[in-house]
Structures are given as C-alpha cells and as structure tokens.
C-alpha cells in the first residue's frame, strides 16, 4: 500500500518507510543530550518540537504527518465496505523504548525476557472498537494477539524497538478507539506509541508514552486511547466504560502504600517533612492539618513514624519517594541531569563539601576569598566511587572542572551579576533594578498610603505604625512632599514586616541566624529607575515593652555608608528567603501539584482540556518529591542555606494563609493588586504599567497575552454550545476537587472563580499555564546568575547591626569590611548554596519550551493544531520583541553600562545555566 506525503515534493513512500521514519525520529529525540546541531522546525502544523538538522529533517517530519492524519476530530477511519460477516486482516505496530544505558544485569534480563517471549510469555494487544457489541453492551473487542519480533528487536543497537501484532476482525468491527495491553514479561516496559493499519486509508495513531507494568505486579490491563478528542458527553458508546475505568484506576482506593509501578493519584498533607524518629531536632509541624494551612501533595501511603503516628515515615536519600509512574523523569532527564544530578548533589557533593572544611564556620576573610571560588576553585575530598558517579552525569557548569583526571576541584562559573561589572552589586541603582528585573521581581509594590501600618496584632507585636517618618523620606524626593510623590505614583515599597515579624524571635534564638522584619522604600526617578531611600529594620517588643525599629538612610560619612550596606544586605537576605519559600516554592511548585493530581483523577486523557494541560504538568510531581526529600525537609538544603532555618516551611505556610489567592495568581490581577499597573482599555493588554520599564511585567504581559489568546481559541473549539461547560461532568469534577481537596484549607474562600462559561474556563486555564511556565521561569532560572555571588544576594545573615552601645560596635568601626563579611554566610554555607542554586537553574537537554510540543500529533483535531501553530508563531514574535527591548538604550532597567539584559522571559533556551528559557512546566 502506498500513500503520498502531504506538503512534500517527493516520491510516494510505503507504510514500512513511515514506521522506519518514526523510529528514526524517536531515536534522535532520545539522543538530544549528545547531539550538537539543533534546529526548530515550525513549517508543519502541530510540529513544534526540536528536530536534528541531519539532512533528512523535513522528509522525516513529512512522513510522520502522513501516518497521523491532520483531519479534524470529526473525521474517523472508515472500514472498507465489505459484505457483513466477512473478515479482514489488520496489523498493529507497537514502538517501545529501551533503556539508554544498560548494565550487565539489564542485558541478562533482556535475554531472559526474549526467551520468555519465544515461549509465549509476551506482550498481548487487544483492539476495542468505538462501536458497541450488542451482546456485551461494551465496545467490540478483537481477540488478543501477541506482539512478534521481540527477540530480533531486542538485539538492535539503538534504543527503539518495533514489534507487530496481527488481528482478524469482522468488517463491521468499526474503528478501534482503544487498545488494551497486557505485559507478561517480568519487568515493566516503556511503550512509546502504537498505530493500527487496515482500517481505511490511513493508520490510526495511539500515543502512549507510558510505562506498562508487569502482569505479575498488577493483573489489570493497561488502556490506551487513540489521539481522538472527546468531551464526556460525546464519548463513543464503545469507549464509555473504558474511559470511566481508566479514571477509576488512577484514583485508587486511598489505601495502602503506593508501589513503584502504580499510576495512582491521591492527596495527602505535608506530614513527611520532619523526622522525629531520627531526632527531636528534626521534628517539624504538619502543614495542612487544620492548624497550619497548606496545599495538598501526592499521597504515598508510607507507614507512620514510630514517634509520631500523625506523621508519615521518611524515605531518606538515596531511596526514591513515590510519584505516579508516568510522572517520573524520563530517562534522558534522569541520566543526563535532573534526578541524577540532584541526587549526586545531595548525596555526594554536599557531604563532601562539608567534609572538606576543617571548620564549618570558617568565614570569608576578604572579597578575594570569594573571587577565588571562580578563579581557583574549591578543593573537594571525593572518594573514587563518587567521582565515577559525577562523570556519568551532565552536570551544571560549576562542576565542569571538577572531573578532570587527577583533580578534585569544584570551580564555580562567574555569575552574570559580576561578569559585566564586578562592582554592580554595591550600587543603589542595581539594588533597585533587581526588584524590577532580578530573580524576585514580584514583591515590589506601589506605596499607596503614608504612614505605613502593619496588619499584625499590636497586643503581640507592638505598635503597628512604621517608624519611617516624612523627614526620613522627603530629602530624597527631588523637592516633592510625600503626599505629592504618592499622588504621582513615585513611591514604592518592599515590605517584609508582616511576613517575618512573627518568626524573628524564634529565628534569632538559633545559632548563626539573625533577622529583622524589614521595610524598604524606593523613589521612582525621572529615568524610570528605582532609588532606595530608606530602610526600616525591626525587632519585636522586649519584655519591657520597648520595640527596636531602626531607620537607615544613605548618609554621607563612612560609618553611615557601611551601616546602609549592612541594612541592604539584611533586606536582600529577607528577599532571598521569601523568594525561595513563598514566591518560588509555594506559588509555583506546591500550588501546581493539586491541579496535576485533580487533572489525572477527573479528566480523561481523551478530554480536550487534559490534552491542553498535559505539557504543563510534566515532571512537576517528581521535582516536588525530590524537594520534600532533600530541599524543604527538616535539616535539608533550604533550612541550612536560608535565614529562616527550621522555621522555613512555617513561614511559607504563613504566606499561604495570609496572602495566597488563586484569582490573584493571574499576572494582570497581581500587577493591579500590587499597584504596579492600573486598568486602561486604551493600553495594550488593557493595563498601564506604573513603571513603564518594568521588565518582568512588560515581558510577562506579552507571554500572558499569547497564552490567553491560545487558550481562548482552544476552548472555543470544544465549548461553543450554551451551558457546555456546566454540563461537562469531568470538567466540573476537576474544578470541584481542586477547591475541595487540593486546596482544602481554602475551600470556603469567596474569591475562587466560578466555572460556568467558556470565559471562566479560559481564565482559569490561562492562570494555571502562566504559573507553570512564565511565572516559574521568571522566578527560577535567574537563581545562579544573581545569587551565585554571595554579597549580591546573601541567603543568610549571621549578625545583627550593632548599635553604639554594643560591644561589637568598636570592631565594626575598626574593620567594617571584616564585620560585613562575618555577617555573610560562611564559606561552607556559601559554596553549598551556590552549588544548589546552580543545579536548580539548569535546563535539561530534553526540556520542552513554551510554544513547543515534543509529541507532534498530540491530537488529531486539525482545528486545535492550527490554533497551536498560531500560538507557537506568537511566542516567536514575543521573543523578538523582548530582544529588541533589551537593545533599547532608553530602557535603563535592562540596558546600560554593565547592566544585565532581562532574558528570564525569553521563551527559548539551550541546555544548561542560560538565564533564559520558559519550559512548559515546573520541571526543576
């Protein structure tokens, strides 16, 4: 049988050619980590992923397009017209992915599997029709057929396998809409895709991309559906029962400990962060237990702790925390970077760093000690087996010099913040610029009222009025009064008073931790930049009722200069902690997880909204599980590297309780709420930015609008009928579960959006996709470029600022540089933090960026593919606009002598630490 390739000036090709082409495409995708020449091909509708520029790129994509129809969803394969009762032969071709790296054990297991396959213990397929069998009232089913060719395919040198199964079905069987798979091998297999030939002129495509469990572990057959899209009410009768069964299987029964091969999604509180069984010092409160509000995470069902039955026992490294099987990192990401590198980092590098310091409290003696980390590196004590582990991983740039033969050297890459101007961090204008264009540009607010008041209980925390008075401010306002500056929208504030004050006393009682509740006021200059003019650092009331509220301004003498620099450092440390624990972890990682769990429990993979969301759910549950194991857990990296220490997650939970609202996670709503924008229908995006050169907001609104337009186009395809959103039972169950299970502690809040119209739906989805993509990228991938130089962004402050009556004041006066550096993190804390944030700022080679989908035919609905093509083109336009803005000399917050361009919202990126790129999902 021959078919002509669409949109290609070339000879016809056979189905065999098509299958070979698909195998070739899959193999090359798996080799992304080693290939060098990469191009983006956007010519063909729906094909937005990367392809290798090997001379066969266009032909291969065209061949794949021939296999999988571009026709709208209303078109299905038609069985040839033959007399009823006659039989036809059809064939299924299944493509499997082998492991990238196989050790001797894997090879022996493969030989054993091949032998079992020969004697009949193989993989079975069963076709299910969209048409009802009147005898069973379910979809018509073929007889099971075993896949052939496993033995020969297993011997192939590449990573893909192609096996076939033959079926004989009646001519009135109807179009197959599902395939049941039984894996009789002793171990799981990764099924890439299946396509079925013989029903009409084109093969029917079944995207799988899934691990199929061994029958001996779970006798239930796996269900895979074609790439046809169906709303629940329009599900073909023959698939209705399978649609419900697949969802039921993924919900589970809420009992027992989850096994490695399970695909079960359920909810649990954050009751696994502490480890009281290890030591009372590692006990931590449960988040989401009713007293402390927090989103839910994925249930693992591990047994309770011995010392605390309400807490779940820990799975310590290098063990693996359960996440549903298909939510784990794919092998490319695991072997080349993320899971492997993170585990190597936490299990080998961090302990080795600790062992390398004879004194863990050793301080930086001078700024040259910091510079030496980039110029000469840090000698690390490694065992031979640890070096072997690192050599097998694609590690971030900072470790590249560590692996040379005979060397055990960790040399850090020069962070971007000092690569252009090593003294930029000292200047006030850079301090202000980073509030708009740094790694945490979402905390700055316009000051709307003066004096400033706290919302905390004055009976506990003292007077709510700030100590900042008009006289502290007006000398820096270019002749304006405070009232005039407020009216002209020229005053802004970075306010961490209410966030930190409840924790100040507890944190300051810890060894090597000192913190204030801080407020910083900025003035908007005529150049469009922010100038910090006054800082307030506060401590709680003492037993005598006195409250320490210190005011710091620029001053013009040496002492005032150094005090101002110390005050800025305390503000930066507060900003770093709040960024990591609230804006980054809570608002993107933790709050996304309930959406992912609910989507898998309530939306069929055939549902159009699941297909839309799927790329934005990728890898998040695995990275969150790794975080619970090694980052945010008691005694983990975050506690050891940031000022709040053991109170870190309580501070995060406090912010969830006080401030988090789903409706405010939409970028326009957030900007308006912070006073950084006002509604203006005459402006692009319907908003006027109060600071025109606010790079995060200006670029973010371009990304937001592109997402919004794409989502509205997509939703309109499937919800054109009145009440179609309200009558979609899966969609309503999904939203209900997010409110009442995923964010249980906020279930009664009045601000949750309704889900009644297609406009409601588009708004909800746009917010989720923005948070997973643009918001996370803006908050994550600048961590090393800005935080890799400790003085620019200290994550810990170890000393309070001395008063004239303090014993340390004289030592401060005699050597202010030494006092400043002794207030910073120790060398061990700094090097550990730098290694962690560098790893967390790194893109994986298999990353999927906004406007891309690695699965070229994620749906067979041509309308959706065309809408996605428009979205992809729009994202490319946005990238060009951002690049032009970065070259505009009038944009002082992204251009100038030594100034970093704002690239965190540039959509595309290569692998590694690039300081740019918007992945589709929270994937690191």
Q: Which residues are catalytic?
A: 584, 589, 776, 780, 924
- Per-residue CA distances from 842 to 696, 918, 923 (Å): 20, 12, 10
> Do 857 and 227 contact (CB within 8 A), yes or no?
yes
- What is the helix (H) or strand (E) element at residue 419, kind and residue range? helix 416-419
**From CA 724, how far away is CA 726, in angstroms rounded?**
6
What is the token pair recorded at 892? Answer: 């002082």
- What is the helix (H) or strand (E) element at residue 766, kind and residue range? helix 758-770
- Per-residue CA distances from 501 to 162, 261, 551, 920 (Å): 62, 45, 16, 36
Residues in the chain: 924
Q: At what angle do helices 695-718 and 862-887 cross, to 10 degrees?
A: 170
> Do 597 and 266 contact (CB within 8 A), yes or no?
yes
Task: Tell me the three state secondary structure of residue 694.
Answer: coil
- Per-residue CA distances from 887 to 692, 875, 884, 903 (Å): 16, 19, 5, 12
What is the token pair recorded at 69? Answer: 């129809």
**From CA 337, how far away is CA 776, in angstroms rounded?**
19
Per-residue b or e along 402-426, where b marks 16 or more CB atoms closer than 10 Å to that residue's CB: bbeeeebebbbbbbbbbbebeebbe
**From CA 600, how far away is CA 608, in angstroms rounded?**
13
773 burial via Cβ count (<10 Å: 0-12, 13-18, 19+): buried
**From CA 372, how far away is CA 742, in angstroms rounded?**
47
Bridge partners (DSSP) listed for residue 561: none
The alpha carbon of 223 is separated from its chain's Cα centroid by a whole number of angstroms, namely: 28
- Per-residue CA distances from 129 to 7, 140, 171, 225 (Å): 31, 5, 12, 11
CA neighbor of 327 nearest in space, from 282, 359, 297, 370: 297
823 burial via Cβ count (<10 Å: 0-12, 13-18, 19+): buried
Q: DSSP alpha helices (H): ranges in 607-747?
A: 608-613, 620-626, 637-641, 648-658, 667-673, 695-718, 729-737
Q: At what angle do helices 648-658 and 497-508 cross, to 10 degrees?
A: 160
Dihedral (Cα; 56, 58, 59, 64), 10-degree rounding: 120
Residue 107 CB contacts under 8 Å (≥ 6 apart), including other chains: none
Q: What are phi and psi of 14, to 5 degrees?
A: -90, 165
The alpha carbon of 202 is separated from its chain's Cα centroid by a whole number of angstroms, namely: 37
What is the token pair recorded at 46? Answer: 């729906």
Task: Tell me the three state secondary structure of residue 13.
Answer: strand
Residue 338 CB contacts under 8 Å (≥ 6 apart), including other chains: 329, 619, 623, 844, 923, 924
C-alpha distance across the termini of the chain, in Å: 46
CA neighbor of 896 nearest in space, from 887, 908, 906, 907: 887
- What is the helix (H) or strand (E) element at residue 560, kind and residue range? helix 558-578
**From CA 523, how far away is CA 317, in angstroms rounded?**
48
Residue 896 gets the label, from left (phi > 0), alpha (psi -120 to 50) or beta, of left
């Amino acid at each position: 049988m021959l078919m002509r390739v669409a949109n290609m000036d070339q000879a016809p090709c056979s189905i065999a050619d098509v299958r070979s082409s698909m195998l070739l495409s899959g193999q090359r995708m798996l080799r992304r980590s080693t290939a060098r020449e990469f191009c983006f091909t956007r010519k063909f509708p729906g094909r937005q992923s990367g392809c290798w520029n090997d001379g066969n790129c266009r032909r291969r994509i065209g061949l794949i397009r021939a296999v999988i129809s571009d026709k709208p969803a209303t078109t299905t394969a038609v069985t040839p017209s033959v007399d009823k009762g006659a039989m036809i032969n059809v064939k299924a071709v299944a493509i499997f992915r082998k492991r990238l790296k196989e050790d001797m054990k894997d090879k022996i297991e493969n030989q054993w599997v091949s032998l079992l396959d020969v004697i009949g213990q193989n993989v079975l397929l069963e076709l299910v029709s969209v048409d009802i069998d009147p005898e069973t009232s379910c979809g018509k089913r073929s007889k099971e057929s075993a896949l052939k060719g496993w033995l020969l395919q297993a011997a192939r040198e590449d990573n893909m396998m192609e096996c076939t199964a033959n079926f004989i079905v009646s001519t009135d069987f109807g179009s197959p809409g599902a395939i049941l798979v039984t894996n009789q091998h002793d171990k799981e297999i990764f099924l890439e895709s299946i396509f079925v030939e013989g029903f009409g002129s084109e093969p029917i495509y079944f995207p799988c991309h899934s691990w199929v469990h061994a029958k001996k572990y779970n006798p239930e057959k796996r269900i895979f559906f074609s790439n046809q899209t169906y709303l629940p009410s329009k599900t073909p009768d023959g698939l209705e029962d399978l649609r419900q069964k697949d969802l039921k299987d993924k919900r589970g029964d809420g009992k027992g400990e989850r096994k490695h091969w399970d695909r079960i999604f359920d909810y649990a509180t954050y009751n696994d962060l502490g480890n009281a069984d290890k030591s009372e010092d590692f006990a931590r409160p449960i988040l989401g237990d009713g007293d402390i509000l927090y989103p839910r995470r994925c249930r693992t069902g591990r047994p309770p702790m011995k010392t605390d039955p309400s807490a779940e026992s820990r799975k310590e490294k290098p063990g693996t925390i359960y996440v549903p099987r298909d939510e784990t990192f794919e092998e490319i990401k695991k072997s080349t970077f993320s899971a492997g590198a993170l585990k190597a980092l936490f299990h080998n590098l961090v302990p080795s760093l600790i062992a390398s310091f004879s004194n863990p409290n050793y301080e930086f003696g001078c700024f040259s000690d910091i510079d030496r980390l980039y110029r000469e590196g840090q000698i690390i004590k490694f065992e031979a087996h640890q070096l072997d582990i690192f050599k097998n991983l694609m590690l971030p740039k900072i470790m590249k010099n560590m692996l040379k033969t005979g060397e055990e050297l960790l040399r850090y890459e020069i962070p971007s913040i000092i690569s252009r101007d090593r003294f930029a961090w000292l200047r006030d204008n850079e301090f202000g610029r980073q509030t708009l264009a740094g790694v945490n540009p979402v905390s700055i607010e316009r000051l709307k009222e003066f004096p400033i008041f706290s919302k905390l209980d004055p009976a506990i925390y003292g007077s709510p009025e700030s100590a900042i008075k008009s006289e502290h401010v007006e000398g820096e306002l270019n002749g304006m009064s405070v009232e005039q500056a407020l009216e002209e929208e020229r005053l802004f504030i970075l306010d961490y008073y209410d966030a930190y004050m409840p924790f100040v006393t507890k944190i300051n009682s810890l060894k090597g931790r000192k913190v204030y509740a801080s407020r910083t006021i900025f003035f908007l200059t005529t150049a469009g930049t922010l100038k910090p003019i006054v800082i307030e650092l506060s401590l709680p009331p003492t037993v005598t009722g006195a409250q320490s509220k210190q005011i710091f301004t620029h001053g013009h003498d040496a002492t005032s200069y150094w005090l101002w620099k110390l005050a800025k450092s305390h503000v930066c440390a507060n900003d770093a902690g709040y960024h990591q624990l609230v804006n980054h972890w809570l608002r993107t990682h933790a709050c996304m997880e309930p959406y992912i769990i609910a989507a898998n429990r309530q939306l069929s993979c055939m549902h159009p909204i699941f297909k839309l969301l799927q790329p934005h759910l990728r890898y998040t549950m695995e990275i969150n599980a790794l975080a619970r194991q090694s980052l945010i857990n008691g005694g983990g990296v975050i506690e050891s590297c940031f000022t709040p220490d053991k109170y870190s997650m309580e501070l995060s939970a406090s912010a969830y309780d006080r401030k988090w609202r789903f409706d405010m996670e939409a970028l326009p709503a957030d900007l308006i709420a912070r006073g950084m924008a006002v509604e203006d229908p005459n402006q692009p995006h319907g908003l006027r930015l109060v600071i025109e050169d606010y790079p995060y907001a200006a670029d973010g609104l371009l990304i937001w609008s592109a997402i919004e337009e794409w989502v509205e186009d997509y939703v309109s395809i499937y919800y054109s009928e009145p009440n179609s959103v309200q009558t979609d039972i899966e969609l309503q169950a999904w939203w209900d579960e997010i409110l009442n299970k995923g964010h249980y502690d906020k279930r009664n809040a009045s601000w949750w959006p309704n889900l009644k119209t297609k406009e409601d739906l588009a708004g909800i989805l746009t917010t989720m996709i923005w948070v997973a993509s643009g918001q996370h990228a803006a908050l994550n991938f600048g961590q090393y470029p800005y935080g890799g130089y400790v003085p620019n962004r200290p994550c810990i402050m170890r000393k309070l600022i001395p008063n004239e009556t303090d014993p340390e004041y004289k030592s401060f006066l005699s050597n202010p540089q030494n006092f400043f550096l002794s207030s910073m993190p120790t060398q061990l804390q700094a090097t550990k933090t730098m290694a962690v944030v560098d790893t967390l700022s790194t893109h994986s080679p298999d990353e999927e960026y906004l406007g891309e989908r690695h699965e070229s035919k994620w749906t067979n609905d041509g309308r959706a593919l065309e809408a996605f093509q428009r979205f992809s083109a729009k994202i490319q336009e946005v990238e060009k606009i951002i690049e032009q803005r970065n070259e505009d000399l009038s944009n002082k917050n992204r251009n100038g002598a030594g100034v970093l361009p704002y690239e965190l919202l540039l959509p595309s990126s290569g692998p590694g630490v690039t300081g740019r790129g918007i992945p589709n999902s929270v994937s690191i």
